[in-house]
A and B are shown apart, each in its own frame.
Chain A
Amino acid sequence: MKEMIRIASGQGFWGDLQRAPVDQVRNGPIDYLVMDYLAEVTMSILQKQRKKDPALGYARDFIPLMDEILPTVMAKGIRVITNGGGVNPIACSEAVLALARKHGIPGVRVGVVLGDDILPSLDALLAQGHELRHMETGEPLRSIRDRVQSANVYFGAGPIVEALRQGANIVITGRTTDTGLTLAPMMAEFGWQPDDWNRLAAGTIAGHILECGAQASGGNFSADWEHVPDLARVGFPIAEAHPNGEVVITKHLGTGGRVSRQTVTEQLVYEIGDPRQYITPDCVADFSSIHLEEVGPDRVRVFGITGAPSTEFYKVSASFSDGYTAIGTLTYSWPDALAKAQKADEILRTRLKDLGLTYEEIHSEFLGFNSSHGPLSPLPVEANEIVLRIGVRDHRFDAVERFGRELAPLILTGPPSVTGFAGGRPKPAEVVSYWPALLPKTAVQPRVQILES
């Protein structure tokens, strides 16, 4: 068994810094590169893409990236784990194997994790009595069944461990927890059992630290952001994992950013609920057990972690069509920028009312004044410019479309010194809402398939 493995975060979300995974592979030693591509709304977009073209439905950015790094990762023995397979992990894997052929690299083994996409079996599951009630409202899924665009189970580390044990160089999954991507190589390398709750919790928390990329290494850091060195060349975080569950968070030498107790703590508290019950398909991790220690420059030791048994359920994330929004902006300049923007808002609302148009929601903000902190915002003394940002939401497309036609006329029929309408009319955008639910683990089975070049 290895004494230590290095797991590197390459991507905090789909659209993150493109050179980050390349730097992780080239700028120093790593054993695993893990990349999260899937946000909640991403799955519905990918389902639509696959509907148009059966060869699509995965994170397309992953392919040019692999084109660039495949020769290096194969030469160095780095294994790549990603959930970028989206709703079509097979097509994604085939695209990677095509790259292997193009580069003339033999023996590339791609492990594909399947079974998370329950859209095709949704009606069968409902018929079996799985109501997939909304986790917050308790409403059964059948109330929105005809509008569902995607439905996926979140798998944990288990199927990735299986793929790694079968010798996969690259593991491509659909909907998998971000934390599972990091936990899996620790389980596979160190032989951790699926009921070793403390170690599973330790690997899960390491995954939580890595899952948002540079947010753990100096990005979006609030304590003294102005002193974080060289964010232009920020190094993404790396977890040096040990068989006993201890992890050191660090980054490659010579890269920008910072790894400190404070930067790691800010990421630990990011998007959590009850810290004693951080629930994943793999375990329930206890954030109140985390110990942090700075053990060198840009090195933080994470240890002492405890966990509890996993639950009997997988989380399901479904998405459904839920109406339309349109949002537009107009910029007003000094003098009296705020007063002008407020008057324009009032005029627009009066015109909508005169047209008999009401909306499920209408919302105005004044950028430069109150869009971030609402009523907590102090009045600007003499703002040079204020942006009126106004939006509506409704299930009636026509009403939302009509709103878009009322904004531009304010330029010639409202307060003066107004500009910033280059984008044209705000167009209605479909709202895709998110439906979280639970499903017993016994109702779905992950499948692992190995494809080889």
Chain B
Amino acid sequence: MRVRLLDLCHARSGDKGDTANIGLIARKPEYFPLIVREITAERVRNHFAGIVRGSVERYELPNLGALNFVLHEALGGGGTLSLRNDAQGKTLAAALLRMELDVDKDLLLK
């Protein structure tokens, strides 16, 4: 069945210059292998087409049930240069949680 990442994860985002990071955290340990498999750096980069101009790196934190995505050239120059209302990328975490994906119904019933 089709779900939003919001149903499986919570997340927080922040900035360093023109680079943003999004920490994506599985709501349940059972969801972690699924997001490791499905939420690749490439998929995140495609999701943010038109917002993120640079590369995307992904780091795994199985001990926290989390993935960390580092998004380069993501904030319209960043810091004081950016003309965006969200110059610090605070809402990019929520933007990632919009992503939709297909999951096995059994996983959600666990």
Contact = CB atoms under 8 A, between A and B. Distances in A.
Interface of A: 40-41, 136, 215, 220-223, 262, 265-276, 287-292, 322, 325, 327, 361-363, 365, 367, 371-376, 389, 391-393, 431-434, 436
Interface residues of B, number: 43
Contact of A271 (B10, B16, B64): B16
A376 B98 contact: yes
A266 B93 CA distance: 11
A221 B102 CA distance: 26
Q: Specify which of B17, B21, B63 lies most central, judged by the most chain A CB atoms within 10 Å of its CB.
A: B63
Interface in B48-87: 48-51, 59-66, 68, 70, 76-77, 79-81, 83-86
- Summarize B's interface: helix, strand, loop or mixed: mixed
Nearest to B25: A265
Given A265-B64, A372-B95, A374-B50, A222 B12 contact: yes
A222 B61 contact: no
Contacts of B24: 269
B85 A223 contact: no
B43 interface: no
Interface centre among A40, A223, A275 (most CB of B within 10 A): A275
A361 B82 CA distance: 9
A184 to B, nearest CB: 24
A393 B83 contact: yes
A367 B61 CA distance: 35
B47 interface: yes
B68 A372 contact: no
A273 B17 CA distance: 12
A269 B101 CA distance: 23
A201 to B, nearest CB: 14
A269 B86 contact: no
A270 B14 contact: yes
A262 B28 CA distance: 10
B57 to A, nearest CB: 8
